[in-house]
Amino acid sequence: MIKKYEELMRICLDEALKYRFEVAPNPMVCAIVYDEANDKIISKGTHEKFGENHAERNAILNAGDIDFSDKTLIVNLEPCSHQGKTPPCVDLIIEKGFKKVVIGTYDPNPLVCSQGTMKLKNSGIEVVVGILENECIELNKVFIKNVTKKMPYVTVKIATTFDSKIVTAGGESKWVTGEASRDYVQKLRSQYFGILSGSGTILADNPALTCRIKGERTPERIIIDRHGKISFDYEVFKDDGTRVFLATNNLERDFPTNVVPIEFANFRDLFAKLYNNGIYSILVETGKTILTALIKQEMADEIYKFVSPKIFGNGMDFVGNLNVFKINECYKLEFRKMEKVEDDILIKAKFLYDE
């Protein structure tokens, strides 16, 4: 049955992803009521909006008035066992008398992790945990960071040549990578709550930092301008209905109504304040100064590095001095995935910081 459970879990993952922004800061979850004897999906239910029914309750309601005693519930995240904005899903599952519950991964909240599973087992329900676990964790990586650290999930996007340059010796940076990679980045932007850049990038390129794909969501913009160098005439400050957070220590200015100034000490301080403003994930598109600081302060979770088949030789490196003098002092990463994007290569890697 494992292969069948994996097939059903993939359906859960696809359905849950549709409500990424609507359910935040809750996790993305889908549940399926499955009839193993007849290899039939009875119903599906998804958590569709924060504060409303969880996926398990919707799946049970959608199944109608049936006998659940021979049915299996498939769900990508451990059912909740605590009272929140909605009642505990575990209690309803037990009340309905399910035969089996198949779970993708445990609830990452250290206060409740495995408690739902234990309660199900103690009631006599068979429990299977760990179906497509890595994929289930990946789906809710933002939620996991949010619930365990009370901080946004931070992904750095960088585009470099084969020799890791981002600017030529003559100061040119457009375009390091190809059009397909740039289209990929537009899609990537739509998946994050916020997009962050620095004053240097704004002054050099005057980017709008919007998602240019029709129908896709534009993230809220976060600009680091510690000393107030940038005028509000730049494209990034255009009032398009999206908030612009200006991270600055120069508060003696008149700010446009769509600009929210945030005074900050370091990235930890800034990200904590952004999290409290509903920015649960951030895509960083900036130069080497901010990237270097993010790594040194251990505040970047992941990096997407687009590598073009070009060599500049001289030019600007994508990261600056990290004060690494010995190999065992280096910052470590775990390669997660590599894929071709037409002529370019995209490397996805996760930062591994010592706890």
Closest CA to 248 of 227, 233, 220: 227
Domains of the chain: 2-140 (3.40.140.10), 150-352 (3.40.430.10)
Confidence of residue 333 (pLDDT cuts 50, 70, 90): very high
Helix or strand (DSSP H, E) at 331: none
Cα gap 278→297, rounded to integer Å: 22
Closest CA to 58 of 23, 24, 82, 109: 23
* Burial of 276 from C-beta contacts in 10 A (0-12 / 13-18 / 19+): exposed
**Whether the Cβ atoms of residue 30 and residue 75 lie closer than 8 Å to each other:** yes
Amino acid at 17: L
Cα gap 156→98, rounded to integer Å: 43
* Cβ contacts of 182-186, under 8 Å, gap ≥ 24: 184/306, 184/341, 184/346, 185/157, 185/285, 185/306, 186/211, 186/212, 186/213, 186/216
Question: Which stretches within 123-178 are classed as H helix?
Answer: 133-139, 141-149
Q: Which residue has the higher pLDDT, 219 or 215?
A: 219
pLDDT (tens digit, 9 = 90+) per residue, 239-286?
989 999 999 998 888 899 999 999 999 999 999 999 999 999 999 998
Has 133 been annotated as catalytic?
no
Residue 103, CB half-sphere, CA atoms under 13 Å: how many?
Answer: 23
User: DSSP string of 265-288?
Assistant: SSHHHHHHHHHHTT--EEEEE--H
pLDDT (tens digit, 9 = 90+) per residue, 110-147?
777 888 999 999 999 999 999 999 999 999 999 999 99
Cα gap 68→96, rounded to integer Å: 6
Q: Which residue has the higher pLDDT, 290 or 109?
A: 290
Residue 144: strand, helix, or coil: helix
Residue 279 Cα to chain centre, angstroms:
11
At 271, give phi and psi (nearest 5°): -70, -35
pLDDT (tens digit, 9 = 90+) per residue, 144-194?
999 999 999 999 999 999 999 999 999 888 889 999 999 999 999 999 999
**Whether the Cβ atoms of residue 80 and residue 103 lie closer than 8 Å to each other:** no
Q: What is the pLDDT of residue 252?
A: 85
pLDDT (tens digit, 9 = 90+) per residue, 67-90?
999 999 999 999 987 666 667 899
Helix or strand (DSSP H, E) at 191: none
Of the residues 15, 56, 78, 302, only one is catalytic, namely 56
Q: How many CB atoms lie within 10 A of CB 21?
A: 14
**Whether the Cβ atoms of residue 135 and residue 108 lie closer than 8 Å to each other:** no
Enumerate the β-bridge partners of residue 260: 245
Tell me which DSSP letter residue 193 carries. Answer: S
Which tokens go with 165?
Answer: 């340059």
Enumerate the β-bridge partners of residue 332: 352
**Whether the Cβ atoms of residue 140 and residue 27 lie closer than 8 Å to each other:** yes
At 9, give phi and psi (nearest 5°): -65, -35
pLDDT (tens digit, 9 = 90+) per residue, 304-317?
999 999 999 999 99
Q: What is the pLDDT of residue 348?
A: 97
Closest CA to 23 of 85, 109, 75, 72: 85
pLDDT (tens digit, 9 = 90+) per residue, 8-28?
999 999 999 999 999 999 999
Which tokens go with 97?
Answer: 């008398």
